[in-house]
Amino acid sequence: MTFSRPSIRLLLAAMLCCSSLLTSRVRAAEVDFAHDVIPLLQKHCARCHSNGTYKGSMSIDTREALLETGVVEPGDSSASYLIDLVTSDDPEMQMPPKGERLTEEEVDTLRHWIDADLQWEEGFSFKAETYQAPLKPRRPDLPATEAGVDNPLDQIIFHYWKERGIQPPAPISDAAFYRRSSLDLVGLLPSADEVDAFVADQSPDKRAALVHRLLDNQVAYADHWLTFWNDLLRNDYAGTGFIDGGRAQITSWLYDALLKNKPYDQFVRELISPTPESEGFAKGIIWRGQVNASQRPELQFSQNVGQVFLGVNLKCASCHDSFVDDWKLTDAYGLAAITSNEQLEIHRCDKPTGELAKAYFLFPELGSVDAAAPREERLKQLAAIMTSPDNGRLTRTVANRLWHRLMGRGIVHPVDSMGARPWNEDLLDQLAVHISDSGYDLKKTLELIATSQVYGLESAPWDESAPLEDFVFTGPSPKRMTAEQFVDSLAAIAGVAPDKTENDDVFVEPVKSLEGAGERPFVRASLIQSTPLMRTLGRPNREQVVTTRPGEVTTLEALELSNGEPLSDLLAAGGQKLAANFGDLSAEDLCRALVRSALSREPTAEELQLLAETAGQPLTPAGLSDVLWCIVMLPEFQLVR
């Protein structure tokens, strides 16, 4: 089973030529396999001699296959019959037999390539991948399972485990479940009192009830998922591009959409065929001056629409036909042409081809866009095709992202390679049809995942370095807290949080209109501009679409967390506050309370003793800030497990 084309990942080549711009590139004599040779073979030879079609039993799939044909003599083009074939005037002999002949320049390229010993990227093959990700939605047949297993996700996974003889992990404690689900669904640590009440609750469906309660908290939900969507839609409150109006925020639109849980199909439609409030995503970032053709706003649109909604990477294909998957230059331009105000000339590797882009969608089988229609109409058509019930790729992609957020690893991994094979197709397809069945209500899907038995099992990390095809799902994986979760958690424990946001009208006013929504207990980190502390903890610049943040702590981060001013100042203020409010408690009592609220568990006697020693007696702001530091630096604190 292969699904990542690891061989082709090795592909050398200046495929990144999108990056080259205006600077001197090219030394004429050098032949570059990926840029010069692959396209040439692709154009003239591959149709009849590769990927399953082997006229005259000749294959150019691999270097070995090509050598077997006997038509090339590595190191000596003059002795290579291939050159005779492509230069011959004899209609009986010449290759290709019909169609365009090779230009002199192309023949020279071939000669140089053969003379330079027929360089070939190891592992590269013209033979296409075998896995074809399905496009249409599919409703899997659910396996028969034991009584009491009602959640379809559980049914599928229990069956998967049974088939493989895998023993499911043990369920986590109620307290751990509260911490996990609260951080996952609304980004907040539960208070110790809330956890106590939950643990004491005897009702059998209390976990499901908790999940409902969390998801029903519209404000906390919106505040939390804003981070995820800001990363994904590269929306930020400051950043490059704003300096000269080359970029627009979609913050108020996005926040409103999350607050009201706008159905995902409508959400997508409004981003593709936007209103003035939501146009920032489609508009992209407009840089002053000349940019590489592959980075003009129309192609940013292609790349971002492809990546965010479909898990399709069009970055290669914005410059040339992709060598790592099947996307073509015309595909990227087809999508770009839908949004373009003018006729778009196709550029290959930043050079004009003279060819005009024709507007069409990546998956024409889902529907067509009328290239002659005005732009607004074309975008409407694209939005409709994208969200048509037949587009299972849209729902699979977002289902996989949500699963990844909650379970620590995608069913398809990485989450932006939705053409790759999922570790369980039934599971992905079930989640995807659940989204459309529930009217594209993403909260319902989060609920389905969070109320599954599997979600409530012990977590274990997966080995990211192991080969993808060997992955076996053995249970949920821990996630690293986002920068925003870290800052919010600190606020919850120590009562130190930013004062207000620069977007108060966006984040405060709409909340007031909600019935029954109380005020936020503190200003959430997602609502304010990035700070040095948050940058340290991995909040991205949002210049590019970000779908996965780094999972590991770096040395520079650790330095910043050890003595950097931003965190030190916060902790010092936290220590002050704790000393002022709880100075009359014993060190043990206060440390116990802090551990309970930070880790959602009781401290061990040993831990308590250590922390009390750190705090010192009598309690001082300094001692308490050190206690806070020791607790928030613990991996146990920084991981959602």
Task: Name the residue nearer to other proteins (CB basis): 126 or 225.
Answer: 126
Which residue is listed with tokens 């209500």? 441
Torsion of CA 456, 457, 461, 467, to 10 degrees: -100
228 CB burial (10 A radius; 0-12, 13-18, 19+): buried
Task: Name the residue nearer to other proteins (CB basis): 467 or 532.
Answer: 532
Amino acid at 248: A
Q: For residue 218, what are the contacts with CB-CB under 8 A and spacing of at least 6? A: 259, 260, 261, 514, 517
Tell me 79's DSSP state: G
For 639, the enclosing helix (H) or strand (E) is strand 639-640
Question: Quick check: 294 binds other proteins (CB under 8 A)?
Answer: yes
C-alpha 506/C-alpha 488 separation (Å) is 19
Task: Name the residue nearer to other proteins (CB basis): 9 or 512.
Answer: 9
Question: Quick check: 334 binds other proteins (CB under 8 A)?
Answer: no
Which listed residue (7, 11, 46, 367) binds other proteins by CB under 8 A? 11
Enumerate residues 532-551 that contact other proteins by CB under 8 A.
Answer: 532, 536, 538, 541, 543-544, 550-551
Enumerate residues 74-133 that contact other proteins by CB under 8 A.
Answer: 116, 119-122
Between 239 and 278, how does the x/- string for binding to other proteins read (CB under 8 A)? xx-xx-----------------------------------
Enumerate residues 570-599 that contact other proteins by CB under 8 A.
Answer: 572
**Minimum CB–partner distance for residue 202 and other proteins (Å):** 27
Enumerate residues 476-535 that contact other proteins by CB under 8 A.
Answer: 478, 480, 532
C-alpha 507/C-alpha 299 separation (Å) is 32
Question: Quick check: 16 binds other proteins (CB under 8 A)?
Answer: yes
Tell me 141's DSSP state: P
Between 162 and 191, how does the x/- string for binding to other proteins read (CB under 8 A)? ------------------------------
Question: Quick check: 62 binds other proteins (CB under 8 A)?
Answer: no
DSSP sequence for 510-573:
HHHTSTT----SS--GGGS---HHHHHTT----SS--SS---S--HHHHHHHHH-HHHHHHHHH
Question: Quick check: 556 binds other proteins (CB under 8 A)?
Answer: yes
**Minimum CB–partner distance for residue 470 and other proteins (Å):** 16
Enumerate residues 29-58 that contact other proteins by CB under 8 A.
Answer: 30-33
375 CB burial (10 A radius; 0-12, 13-18, 19+): middle
- Token pair in block for residue 636: 């146990």
**Minimum CB–partner distance for residue 277 and other proteins (Å):** 23
C-alpha 7/C-alpha 108 separation (Å) is 28
**Minimum CB–partner distance for residue 19 and other proteins (Å):** 5
Question: Quick check: 552 binds other proteins (CB under 8 A)?
Answer: yes
Question: Quick check: 61 binds other proteins (CB under 8 A)?
Answer: no
Which listed residue (295, 400, 424, 489) binds other proteins by CB under 8 A? 295
Which listed residue (1, 26, 144, 372) binds other proteins by CB under 8 A? 26
Between 413 and 452, how does the x/- string for binding to other proteins read (CB under 8 A)? ---x------------------------------------
Residue ranges in 192-328 assigned as alpha helix (H): 192-200, 206-216, 218-232, 251-259, 264-272, 279-283, 297-310
**Pairing of the two strands 639-640 and 351-356:** unpaired
